Amino acid sequence: MSGMEPEVKDFLKRVVWSIFFGLLWLMLNMTMGIYFDLLFIYEKITIGNIVFYLFALISLGLLIWFYYNTWKKKFPHG
How many residues in total does the chain contain? 78
> How confident is the model at residue 13, as a pLDDT?
94
The pLDDT of residue 73:
82
Q: How far apart are CA 67 and CA 74, in angstroms?
A: 14
Cα–Cα distances in angstroms (integers) from residue 51 to residues 18, 48, 54, 62, 63, in the given order: 25, 5, 5, 16, 18
Distance (Å, rounded) from C-alpha 33 to C-alpha 11?
Answer: 33
Q: What is the pTM of this model?
A: 0.86
77: in domain: no
Read off the DSSP letter of residue 75.
Answer: P
Q: Which domain holds residue 36?
A: 6-71
Residue 63 in any domain: the answer is: yes
Alpha-carbon gap, residue 58 to 32, rounded angstroms: 14
Tell me: pLDDT of 78 over 70.
Answer: no
76 part of a folded domain = no
Task: Give me the number of domains the chain comprises.
Answer: 1
